[in-house]
């Protein structure tokens, strides 16, 4: 196809005009949007879910596809004017299939939790049993928690981890054989080890269950061969696009060798059932601008630059784990095999206090329960660190050492008063805050966000 620069010039004008109009029409919102750029620039995210979209992806979100109503699937829309939208969606589907070696991909889900809801609603009847990882053991809140519809509509049975922080596969197997769930969910939020999808599949086959893998947290490692790909081990795989894939907020539903086989107990195949689950069962028109941005992210995920970034995700996790252990801070399981480092805090220091104190110094992370934790999930005895955003900032070994040192200094400077309240000397906080800011400036979040 010939390269045509004119349309891009039209879009550049539109974006410039839009920014100027926003400033003139709504200075209140404009200043909030600016404040958010500044917040992201001046804080260091150690959140395991964090990532920053590239400018090309940001611009795809802001494209004219936002104006397109394209209810239905490519080539089968309710309404006309979808020729370009069809090509964009087919491009996203093709790239998703290539990236994950999938035989089937659906790209319309608005998020990972909607993708999971769609898959469950298609494959389960209300009241059916599902087996998922307990949230307080590192599982995701969407997986069978009583707070979420999965726990309310289905009979949710939960498995956990051993004291070393490994999934307790023996427990998964005995629960699966005792309860005969319709679906087994595997996928975790705060889990620092490799997930053995083949072992899950063997258990699912033995128990006559369908296996659903959720790789939201590790999709980039999977896409670059740094974590086993569940695509053929699981019947269905879901992921969000806004964590390791560095894309826009959204979800993907994928399937490998089982895509065109019949769903046990139903007359249709997985691919047909899943297509219907998204539209019309659970969603109306898709967000076409976000699908364009997903296509951009999935394309970029094939690049050598993305591969190098995922390499840094792994080495930084190793370096952080080693660094904390060297300073006598306990890393659950002693190491990390992905992007996550789970830390067990000592004594009166709770996860809630650590999260708040570190946050006030510009180091963002989240509290999390650790194996054997006696505190509630609102308090916890641990924190979870991820290296995705650090890898995007191109942090090197020296930077990793500084992160470890800063986190340890905050934790050492805090005096807990009870489970939630603490004292941190204001002058110490100011000093730490300015050192975090200097680190942020040294490893900028993204060139286009530099001030």
Q: Which residues are at the interface with ligand PLP (CB under 6 A)? A: 49, 111-113, 140, 142, 187, 189, 214, 216-217, 240, 251
**Which residue lies nearer to ligand PLP by CB, 189 or 200?**
189
The token pair that represents 234 in the structure block:
């699981």
CB of 115 to ligand PLP, least distance (A): 8
The token pair that represents 175 in the structure block:
């629960």
CB of 384 to ligand PLP, least distance (A): 11
Burial of 16 (C-beta count, 10 Å sphere; 0-12/13-18/19+): exposed
CB of 401 to ligand PLP, least distance (A): 28
**Which residue lies nearer to ligand PLP by CB, 140 or 168?**
140
**Which residue lies nearer to ligand PLP by CB, 187 or 388?**
187
**Which residue lies nearer to ligand PLP by CB, 114 or 381?**
114
**Which residue lies nearer to ligand PLP by CB, 219 or 395?**
219
Per-residue b or e along 219-235, where b marks 16 or more CB atoms closer than 10 Å to that residue's CB: bbbbbbebbbbbbbbbb
- Give me the count of residues in the chain: 451
**Which residue lies nearer to ligand PLP by CB, 111 or 121?**
111
Which stretches within 154-301 are classed as H helix?
A: 169-179, 197-207, 219-223, 270-276, 288-300
CB of 386 to ligand PLP, least distance (A): 10
- Please give the Cα distance from 85 to 409 (Å, whole number): 51
| Cβ-based neighbour number of residue 343 at 10 Å | 24
Burial of 365 (C-beta count, 10 Å sphere; 0-12/13-18/19+): buried
CB of 293 to ligand PLP, least distance (A): 14
- Please give the Cα distance from 406 to 391 (Å, whole number): 17
**Packing angle, helices 288-300 and 83-100, rounded to 10:** 40
Spell out the residues 6+ positions from residue 400 whose beta carbon is closer than 8 angstroms to its own.
316, 319, 320, 323, 390
CB of 191 to ligand PLP, least distance (A): 9
CB of 369 to ligand PLP, least distance (A): 16
- Please give the Cα distance from 63 to 12 (Å, whole number): 10
**Which residue lies nearer to ligand PLP by CB, 123 or 357?**
123
Half-sphere exposure of 309 (CA within 13 A, CB side): 23
């Amino acid at each position: 196809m010939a390269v045509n620069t004119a349309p891009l010039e039209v879009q550049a004008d539109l974006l410039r005009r839009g920014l100027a109009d926003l400033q003139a029409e709504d200075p209140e919102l404009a200043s909030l949007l600016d404040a958010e750029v500044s917040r992201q620039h001046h804080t260091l995210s150690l959140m395991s879910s964090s990532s920053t979209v590239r400018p090309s992806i940001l611009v795809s979100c802001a494209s004219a596809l936002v104006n397109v109503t394209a209810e239905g699937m490519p080539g089968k829309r309710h309404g006309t004017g979808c020729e370009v939208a069809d090509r964009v969606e087919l491009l996203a589907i093709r790239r998703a299939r290539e990236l994950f070696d999938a035989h089937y991909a659906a790209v319309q889900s608005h998020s990972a939790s909607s993708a999971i809801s769609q898959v469950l609603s298609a494959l389960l009847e209300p009241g059916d049993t599902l087996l998922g990882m307990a949230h307080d053991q590192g599982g995701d809140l969407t997986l069978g928690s009583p707070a979420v519809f999965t726990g309310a509509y289905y009979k949710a049975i939960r498995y956990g981890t051993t004291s070393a922080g490994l999934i307790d596969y023996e427990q998964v197997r005995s629960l699966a054989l005792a309860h005969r769930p319709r679906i087994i969910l595997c996928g975790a939020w705060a889990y620092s080890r490799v997930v053995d999808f083949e072992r899950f599949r063997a258990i699912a086959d033995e128990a006559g269950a369908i296996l659903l893998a959720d790789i939201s947290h590790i999709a980039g490692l999977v896409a670059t061969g740094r974590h086993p790909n569940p695509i053929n081990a699981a019947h269905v795989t879901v992921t969000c696009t806004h964590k390791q894939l560095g894309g826009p907020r959204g979800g993907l539903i994928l399937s490998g060798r089982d895509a065109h086989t019949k769903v046990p107990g139903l007359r249709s195949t997985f691919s047909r059932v899943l297509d219907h689950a998204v539209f019309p069962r659970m969603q109306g028109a898709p967000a076409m601008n976000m699908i364009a941005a997903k296509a951009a992210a999935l394309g970029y995920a094939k690049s050598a630059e993305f591969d190098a970034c995922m390499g840094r995700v792994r080495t930084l996790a190793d370096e952080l784990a080693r660094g904390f252990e060297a300073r006598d801070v306990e890393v659950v399981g002693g190491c990390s095999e992905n992007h996550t480092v789970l830390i067990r805090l000592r004594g009166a220091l709770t996860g809630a206090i650590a999260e708040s104190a570190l946050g006030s110094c510009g180091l963002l992370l989240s509290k999390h329960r650790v194996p054997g934790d006696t505190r509630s999930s609102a308090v916890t005895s641990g924190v979870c660190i991820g290296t995705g955003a650090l890898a995007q900032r191109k942090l090197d070994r020296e930077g990793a050492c500084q992160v470890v040192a800063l986190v340890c200094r905050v934790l050492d400077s805090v005096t807990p008063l009870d489970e939630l309240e603490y004292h941190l000397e204001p002058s110490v906080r100011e000093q730490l805050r300015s050192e975090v800011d200097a680190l942020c400036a040294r490893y900028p979040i993204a060139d286009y966000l530099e001030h």
